[in-house]
Structure 1
Amino acid sequence: MAQYQVTVDGEVLQQLFVRDDALARLVEQVVNQVLEAQVTEQLKAGPYERTDERQGYRNGHRERSLTTRIGRLTLEVPRTRAGKFSTDLFERYQRSEQALILALMEMVINGVSTRKVRSVVEELCGTELSRSTVSDLCKRLDPVVREWNERDLSDREYPFVVVDALVIKVRKGGRVRVQSVLLAAGINREGYREILGLMIGDSESEASWSEFFGRLKARGLRGVDMVVSDEHKGLVKAIMSHFQGATWQRCQTHFMRNILEVCPKALQKRLHSRLRYIFDAPDIETARRLKDEVAQEFGAQAPRAIERLEAGFEDAMGVMALPESIRRRLRTTNGIERLNREVRRRERVVGIFPNEEAAQRLIGAVVMEIDEEWTTGHKYLDMTEYWAWRQGLSRKGDEKREGEMHSEAA
């Protein structure tokens, strides 16, 4: 495969994280230089070069537009007098652009170190950049991430909130410390998912979660009807404190794992199958009946597993009060799992973050990217039945209060 030496204007590189179209302009420069290199290769001579090996002459350029995932590029395709210049770049571009974009974006969002960032930039630009210059480029993201993470949430309601956390390692005070990244996603009244925010805390303690929820509420989070999470004690206490009146839905996936981990191995497959029937039940009455049958069947052989099932059953079945059409996507934290996987994929490249700011920058950039996909993509839930159900509950409440008032008057 041919290799080409390209040079990128420093001004374009500096605008990479400032202008919306900067990445497209950068790629445009690179591709145009590749086209010039290819015509030189085919003609066996550069512009105005005197050589016995020359196999033709240039004849200006023709403009061609190329639509890509990063925007429309305007390319100057070389022409030759014989009209024989050809390039396979356009055919290969859709496959190669992702690799090129990743090479560019690795400078900041793929978790590479400052030294590696400098190497990538030097290779692209052919110039040496200082450590401070590279750090300045990285920190251009900080205000963008901060603005997104502090944006106003008060312009709409978020009936459903899903929260989760993942553990990272960060260097602090000369030591490597374990910290928790707290994440919250919301489903707004129209049914679209949004990532509400993130916070890096010292642990998954009640205090950390309370601080995180306090920040979300201060930004305007309201209208929460249900919070979905695992059963971490500090987290559950913070949910109960900050979202009084909302239902806590214990993640059924985590709940099932908790049950099976204390079940004898020989019984795990059979119990797993029975638990699935419980969670897939059409209504709470059927689910309770199936749960009682499972308790009777496995009680003697797997007492600890059944004890956990009995203790956590009601918290894991909170979604049964909702319309059936939206239950499946609200009964677990699986909807936020992809977010965690994307963060983890970048985090593995780093291993240990050099500081908390670097962690906030990288994770924030990844999360913002996914949030944009969610908010501009398809609806996550059809909320029609939900709002009809809520309206029905409201009417029943009004009728009940009216009946009580008549009784008191009598």
Structure 2
Amino acid sequence: MDDTEFAAPSHEEVRTDVRALFLGAIRMTLEMLLEEEIRGLVGAGRWQQVAGRKDQRNGSYLRGLLTSMGHLEVAVPRTRASGSAEAVLGRYKRRSEELDEAITSAYVQGVSTRKMGRVTRALMGEEVSRSTVSRVTKSLEQKVEGLRTQPLTQAFPYLYLDATFLDARWARTVQNVSALVAYGVGEDGHRHLLAVTLGGSESMDSWLELLRQLLERGLRGVRLVIADGHAGLAAAARQSRPEARLQRCTVHLTRNVLAKAPWRLRGRLGKETSAVFEAPTLQDARKRLEALQAGLGRQVPEAMECLREGFAPATCFFSFPKAHWKRLRSTNGLERLHGEVKRRIRSVGAFPDRASALRLITAVALEVSGIWADRRYLDMALLTSNPDTAE
């Protein structure tokens, strides 16, 4: 585990993820309103065959737009006779900062006629119909439902599971909920967000339900589950995927070890603990553990007991291709996602209900994970052709 693996996300990384979320919200809202404008120009909805049609659709083009969150490309629909639906964009450019705030707030809180009224009055001169709001709401709900039900058509040799606790407020009460997230590395070598759900706690039952849903959707080929040391999660993983090995996150384990040491020794202990997991082989890792025990470990017996107990499950990654080790020994990717969810929860303040909280968490997860599509995470050919063997 190197320093970058243990470090918290940088300010720039956080800004990038927040910007991606907000730009997605602005794009979706503007394209929805452009669709309403083109309906008015054409006299019919997409694919509708109606009498009295005024015009015909003629595809669309991408229009660059500078928003308060950065540059954005919006698909602008065209007609054959009337031209493009650009009135909405003209109104948007005159009041972009105010409207960006309203759009993102509506996106986070859940679209309703009342919340969208402020946006659509400014952009279109009138409030959109209830049927329009219903279509937008359905689009948001489909994102949540799509993630929950999408069939898993490829094998996922590596499955990452993690949770974070949130203080969510709705119905004038504060409730402690856990956001459970799963992503996998598929045979294609890419990371895929697989599931996001809310649980009352990070219990075995909550994790079993999430894993049951993944199995129903076709989860297969799991060889390694990467998770923290939570007992309920570990028990659920073993029961649901008994054929897979369970890798304990070395970042979580290191935090637990340091928590049992005095402040004055934590810096040195952290470096020596990291060195154990960065060893070139499992045999060398054992030697480094023994050296730590014989030296600094004498001053921190409770910390060493924690490290020894966690050593075996935290070193399963040695049994897999060496090129994969850094990616397999922690759930650091999910930690960043959880951090972003917590920041958005704090900024929102309160939710109308549980569904709106899930909608936000799913939206954040989808936006943050959107960059994964273009980046291969691991070369999975190494796993099938020449896996390393633990010593």
Partner of 1:70: 73
CA distance in 1, matches of 2:119, 2:103: 10
Does the aligned pair in 2 maintain the 1:110–1:362 contact within 8 Å?
yes
Matched AA of 2:269: L
The answer as to 2:211 corresponding to 1:213 is yes
- Kindly tell me the number of residue pairs found equivalent between the two proteins: 323
Partner of 1:389: 386
Partner of 2:259: 261
Partner of 1:43: none
Q: Larger deviation: 202-211 or 108-117?
A: 108-117
Partner of 1:290: 288
Partner of 1:347: 345
1:299-331 per-residue CA deviation (whole Å, 9 max, x = no partner) reads 331110011011101111110111111110111
**Superposition pairs of residues 92-131 of structure 1, within 5 angstroms:** 102-103=100-101, 105-111=103-109, 117-127=116-126
Does the aligned pair in 2 maintain the 1:256–1:275 contact within 8 Å?
yes
1:226-274 per-residue CA deviation (whole Å, 9 max, x = no partner) reads 1111111111110111111211111111110000011011111111111
Give the deviation of 1:215 after TM superposition. 0.6
RCO higher in structure (CA 8 A, sep ≥6): 2
**Superposition pairs of residues 268-283 of structure 1, within 5 angstroms:** 268-283=266-281
Give the deviation of 1:380 after TM superposition. 0.7
**Superposition pairs of residues 1-400 of structure 1, within 5 angstroms:** 22=31, 25=34, 66-67=63-64, 69-71=72-74, 73=76, 102-103=100-101, 105-111=103-109, 117-127=116-126, 137-153=136-152, 155-170=153-168, 175-375=173-373, 377-390=374-387
CA distance in 2, matches of 1:147, 1:178: 26
Does the aligned pair in 2 maintain the 1:24–1:73 contact within 8 Å?
no
1:129-159 per-residue CA deviation (whole Å, 9 max, x = no partner) reads 7999867743541133212321101x21000
CA distance in 2, matches of 1:131, 1:229: 44
Does the aligned pair in 2 maintain the 1:226–1:247 contact within 8 Å?
yes
Secondary structure, in 3 states, of the residue corresponding to 1:176?
Answer: strand
CA distance in 2, matches of 1:212, 1:373: 24
Distance 1:239 1:363, change over 3 A: same
1:363-401 per-residue CA deviation (whole Å, 9 max, x = no partner) reads 2223233344322x11011122222125x98xxxxxxxx
1:5-35 per-residue CA deviation (whole Å, 9 max, x = no partner) reads xxxxxxxxxxx869xx935947999xxxxxx
Secondary structure, in 3 states, of the residue corresponding to 2:193?
Answer: strand
Q: Which runs of 5+ in 2 are unaligned?
A: 1-26, 39-60, 66-71, 79-88
Secondary structure, in 3 states, of the residue corresponding to 1:266?
Answer: helix
Secondary structure, in 3 states, of the residue corresponding to 1:244?
Answer: coil
TM-score if structure 1 supplies the norm length?
Answer: 0.69
Matched AA of 2:294: Q
Matched AA of 2:308: E
Give the deviation of 1:208 after TM superposition. 0.6
Secondary structure, in 3 states, of the residue corresponding to 1:106?
Answer: helix
User: Alignment identity in percent?
Assistant: 33
Distance 1:97 1:322, change over 3 A: farther
Give the deviation of 1:290 after TM superposition. 0.2
1:162-210 per-residue CA deviation (whole Å, 9 max, x = no partner) reads 1111223445676432111110000001110000011111111101111
Q: CA RMSD in A?
A: 3.6
Give the deviation of 1:291 after TM superposition. 0.3
Does the aligned pair in 1 maintain the 2:147–2:194 contact within 8 Å?
no
Distance 1:378 1:247, change over 3 A: same
CA distance in 1, matches of 2:366, 2:335: 15
Larger Rg: 1
